[in-house]
Structures are given as structure tokens and as C-alpha cells.
Amino acid sequence: MCYSASMRSGRTKTTSFSLDDLTLKNLKALAARRHNGNVSALLAEVATREAKFAAAEAYFDKYGVPPLSAEAIERIEAEWQGVTSPKKRRRKAA
């Protein structure tokens, strides 16, 4: 599937790229929820976010901050997805 976007003349560039049907469907759904259906605005947001991630990675590398472990990543993803581990029961004080 190919998507071509054009916006205001002079401020943006028109491009096209190939996507499978599911990816295009997901992009359009995300754009509908976050940018009133504007796929170009969604892609601009994603590109900006990725540039910030790249800058953070460079910073961490520069100062020797180790990458997160697989376990830490799973814990963080579970937290932002709303999945929490069962709470431990507290004992009453004697």
C-alpha cells in the first residue's frame, strides 16, 4: 500500500512510501485518535519523538548509562499498559 501526503506549499515536502495493509490501517487509526485523521501530523510526531530518543541514547552512551535490562523493560511496559502485579498482603502489627 502506498501513501502520498501533501500539506501547505512551501512548508512541507510531499513524499510517498509503501506500507502493508495492517500498518496503514493502524497509522490511520492512530491519526484519527490523535490528529483528527491527519497521517502526516502523526508521522511528524513520531519522527520528532524518534529524534529525541536518538539524542537520549547518545547522551546515555556518552555518560556510560547502561541500557535497561529485558526485565526492566517488561516491568515498564506492563506499568504503562495498566498491568500490575498483585499487591502483597500486609501483616498486622503484633
pLDDT over threshold 50, residue 85:
yes
Those residues whose C-beta lies under 8 Å from the C-beta of residue 41, and which sit 6 or more positions away, are 31, 35
Q: How confident is the model at residue 9 (pLDDT cuts 50, 70, 90)?
A: low
On the question of pLDDT at 67 being above 70, the answer is yes
Interatomic CA distance for residues 4 and 93, integer angstroms: 66
- pLDDT band with cut points at 50, 70 and 90 for residue 62: very high
- Cβ–Cβ under 8 Å, residues 1 and 19: yes
Q: What is the pLDDT of residues 68-84, one digit of tens each?
A: 999 999 999 999 888 87
Domain map of the chain by residue range? 15-80
pLDDT tens per residue, range 35-58: 999 999 999 999 999 999 999 999
Work out the mean pLDDT of the chain and round it to a whole number: 86
Total residue length of the chain? 94
CA 45 vs. chain centroid, Å, equals: 9
Contacts of 85 (CB under 8 A, 6+ apart): 78
